[in-house]
Amino acid sequence: MIRRQHWSLPLLGWATLGFLYLPLLAVAVCSVNDSRLLGEWHGFTWQWYERLFVDLKDNRVDSTALFAATRNTIGLAVISTFISTILGTMLAFGLRGRWPKPLTAPVMAVVMLPVITPDIILAAAMVALRQVWSLFDTGFFTMVIGHVTFQVSFVALVVHARLSHISAAQEEAARDLYASHWGVIMRVMLPQVTTAIVAGAMLAFTLSLDDFVISFFTASPQSTTLPLLIQASIRRGISPEIHALSTLILFATVALVLGVTHLTRPRPTE
């Protein structure tokens, strides 16, 4: 006999979703409020979105600095995601190898270390490395290295989780058919983990867009990102322009996730 779930479980689920998404909805509502005061509703307006692209005297966000920060943020996310996806995928395939049992747990611990390590520790490590090796001066190059250091582990864990569900019998069957080592990877393994690689890349891209602490310690005045710009603007007071910018970032992220999900979903075979 199948027992019906308790009525409180759906209620708890909806309450959790509300807890997660109501603050985002509040930001979106404030971005179209015709008042600079958050607690007062003066009508619907698009002016705060227009101010992001037009310089006015009373703007709290400089549109020139905004476009520069957007360019730096997207460029940083794309480059670091590309590098970390390649390195993370290679690391995941390496973790699938036959490691001696005494080394399995330590190797996995090293891979997971950037995931559980606070960002401030990684940022302090980048500062210490910059002092030891002058090559790592503040700027875009150092920011890419800093982002890749924590993105690689996330990609590797996602891809490794998918690889762990692929039977070794498939590799043995491919080798029995005279497939080379690279042939097994490219024709047997890689097609089955493509979705996981895309998921890991999306996660790395999102983490790069969202990062503040590591970027704060490694950025130069010419490589300011959107999180740094938003934080500097909030220190002068939360403005509707910031709500409009945050809403645009939110919708861009949702569109990216939906687009990639549509492209990577399984297609029905004829």
Each residue's pLDDT tens digit in the chain (270 positions)? 556 667 778 888 888 888 888 888 888 888 888 877 767 788 888 888 888 877 777 676 777 787 888 889 989 999 999 999 999 998 888 887 767 777 777 888 888 888 888 888 888 888 777 777 666 677 888 889 889 988 999 999 999 888 888 877 777 787 777 777 777 777 888 888 888 898 899 889 988 988 888 888 888 888 888 888 888 877 777 778 888 888 888 888 888 777 777 766 665 554
Average model confidence (pLDDT) for the chain? 82
DSSP string, 27-87: HHHHTTBS-SSTT----B--HHHHHTTS--TT-SS-HHHHHHHHHHHHHHHHHHHHHHHHH
**Domain 61-264, CATH homologous superfamily name and number:** MetI-like (1.10.3720.10)
- List beta partners, residue 33: 44
How many Å apart are CA 217 and CA 78, to the nearest integer? 20
Strand (E) positions, 62-183? none
pLDDT of residue 49: 85
Cβ within 8 Å of residue 42, ≥6 positions away: 33, 34, 35
Cβ atoms of 72 and 224 closer than 8 Å: yes
- Give the number of other CB atoms < 10 A from CB of residue 158: 24
Tokens standing for residue 220 = 């130069």
How many Å apart are CA 163 and CA 160, to the nearest integer? 5
Tens digit of each residue's pLDDT (9 = 90 or more) over 159-207: 988 888 887 777 778 777 777 777 777 788 888 888 889 889 988 998 8
pLDDT of residue 263: 67
**Which residue from 34, 33, 32, 14 is spatially nearest to 22, judged by alpha carbons?**
14
Tokens standing for residue 29 = 């509502």
pLDDT of residue 3: 66
Indicate left, alpha or beta for 4 from its phi (over 0: left) and psi (-120 to 50: alpha): beta
**Which residue from 46, 65, 73 is spatially nearest to 244, judged by alpha carbons?**
46
